[in-house]
Structure 1
Amino acid sequence: MIKKETLDFLKELGDNNNRDWFMANKQRHDDARQNVIDFTQAVIKLLAKTDANLNAEADPRKCVLRIYRDIRFSLDKIPYKRNFGISLMQNPGGGRGSEYYIHIEPGKAFLAGGYWMPEASHLKAIRQEIDYNAHDLKQIVDTPEFIKLFGNIREQDRLKTVPRDYNADHPDIDLLKLKSFIAQHPLKDEELLKKDAVEKIVALCCKIYPLNVFLNNAIA
């Protein structure tokens, strides 16, 4: 589970986002990060029982994103993120692909999976897979349970025009217009603090797993 001290640190960091405060509270950051690393390891080990593309022995430290922001090209010079992000890549071939993502931030936590903003070649391959096998995708994302947990995937960011190589009257044009393929579920702070937080998050990931399989098969 995530410790209350971890959420408390992130909340206070949001109110004191400067180097002096951070350095004075560096040990609190290190303790919070270690909590997130331990949490990540538990998620990986349990989720790997369902998702064979995840290595149960993967180093969880490499899955927890750095808290330091890259401000080189940003007008916002706040130095630190207000969250811990956990990225569990699922593409067995390496490189970009589908993943599971856990966002830990007081009052704004969520779990997500799928493929955010695929690169051009991957997006083309996914659209081709939808063109050929839309029925398989719709059997995943159109079930009442999936919609209840993650919303309607068609309501995500879409092209305003018809994608190249497809006609406006294509029966699945709403899916072909998608720019990303994401399933997202909000998490309450109290859910993260409970002893069964790992089990609940893994159970949600398992609901996303078929979507990730469809996407990875498309770009394989």
Structure 2
Amino acid sequence: MSNTVPKSVFAFFKKLEKNNNRDWFNENKPEFKAIEGEVKLFYNALLERINRHDEIDKLKIFRIYRDVRFSKNKLPYKTHFGGSFHRAKPRLRGGYYLHIQPNNQSFIATGFWQPEKEDLLRIRKEFEMDASEMRDILADKTFNTVWGDTFEGDEVKTAPKGFSKEHEAIGLIKKKQYIFTKKYTDKEVLGADFLDSVDNAFKTIRPFFDYMSDVLTTDLNGVSLID
């Protein structure tokens, strides 16, 4: 396994940005496959690190080929690598994501990007009943130094159906996504300590994941839904 991201990854994607067509890519595919192999080693090294403090049941590294069927952007290839780490369900909820892209566009993300309808309602009901524990997590200095003190993601304009827009926790309740991101420069991604930085950042998200896993595996009375 490789503990560093190869420097060639950004150089290749910058060339691909200028030559995003099948002829160029097919001509340079051997170079891409070599780079992809090294990057996959890095993703697997990160998987091994995360599994020391969490339980991942699946690593998915996304393909470079874009699905252009329903997109206005008809360029055939992505100019980044993306990989997601799925926690062991149903006991553990949430997941991790690593995005590697040139021009200082790399980032990591965690949380709940597209929660299922039932999960979203359960989360909102929990915040309606008592949002103090979630607020304590967001206010923790170690946590918000890495991830900030507010959620990112889409939200409804006023209040979801069945919830009061005057509720004191409406800022949490009206969210449709519960995600956090952390950006990295190209220099940071290629640095010797990038693996440590990403893994340490993912470690700090655990209070949030532990809380959400507890919420999503119990009913409003605290009775387990999976036992």
Q: TM-score, normalised by structure 2?
A: 0.86
Secondary structure of residue in 1 paired with 2:143:
helix
Q: CA deviation at 1:155?
A: 5.8
* Counterpart residue number, 2:96: 100
Secondary structure of residue in 2 paired with 1:149:
helix
Structure 1 residues 142 and 156: CA distance shift in structure 2, 3 A: farther
Q: Aligned partners of 1:143, 1:86: CA distance in 2, in Å?
A: 28
* Counterpart residue number, 1:17: 20
Deviation string for 1:7-31 (max 9, x for gaps)?
A: 1111211121111111111112111
2:7 is the alignment partner of 1:4: yes
Which moved further from structure 2: 170-179 or 206-215?
A: 206-215
Q: Aligned partners of 2:37, 2:129: CA distance in 1, in Å?
A: 45
Q: Is the 8 A contact 1:36 1:64 kept in 2?
A: no
Q: CA deviation at 1:143?
A: 2.3
Q: Aligned partners of 2:107, 2:151: CA distance in 1, in Å?
A: 19
Find the partner of 1:135 among 128, 132, 135. 132
For residue 14 of structure 1, what is the amino acid of its counterpart? E
1:77-92 pair list within 5 angstroms: 77-92=74-89
- Highest Rg: 1 or 2? 2
Q: Is the 8 A contact 2:152 2:179 kept in 1?
A: no
Which moved further from structure 2: 172-181 or 132-141?
A: 132-141
Deviation string for 1:128-164 (max 9, x for gaps)?
A: 2223342221121222343332234256432102112
Deviation string for 1:102-129 (max 9, x for gaps)?
A: 1100120001100113121121111122
Q: Aligned partners of 2:199, 2:128: CA distance in 1, in Å?
A: 31
Structure 1 residues 49 and 155: CA distance shift in structure 2, 3 A: closer
For residue 144 of structure 2, what is the amino acid of its counterpart? I
2:151 is the alignment partner of 1:149: no
* Counterpart residue number, 1:192: 189
* Counterpart residue number, 1:161: 158
Identity, % of aligned positions: 32
Can you give the 5+ residue segments of structure 1 that lack an aligned partner in the other structure?
none
* Counterpart residue number, 1:180: 177
Q: Aligned partners of 2:5, 2:84: CA distance in 1, in Å?
A: 16
Secondary structure of residue in 1 paired with 2:76:
coil
Q: Aligned partners of 2:147, 2:203: CA distance in 1, in Å?
A: 13
For residue 28 of structure 2, what is the amino acid of its counterpart? N
Q: TM-score, normalised by structure 1?
A: 0.89
Q: Aligned partners of 2:183, 2:214: CA distance in 1, in Å?
A: 27
Q: Aligned partners of 2:151, 2:47: CA distance in 1, in Å?
A: 29
Aligned length: 213
More helix by share: 1
Q: Aligned partners of 1:195, 1:154: CA distance in 2, in Å?
A: 30
For residue 11 of structure 2, what is the amino acid of its counterpart? D
Structure 1 residues 80 and 97: CA distance shift in structure 2, 3 A: farther
For residue 98 of structure 1, what is the amino acid of its counterpart? G
Q: Aligned partners of 1:210, 1:101: CA distance in 2, in Å?
A: 17
Can you give the 5+ residue segments of structure 2 that lack an aligned partner in the other structure?
218-227
Q: Aligned partners of 1:78, 1:48: CA distance in 2, in Å?
A: 36
Q: Is the 8 A contact 2:152 2:178 kept in 1?
A: no
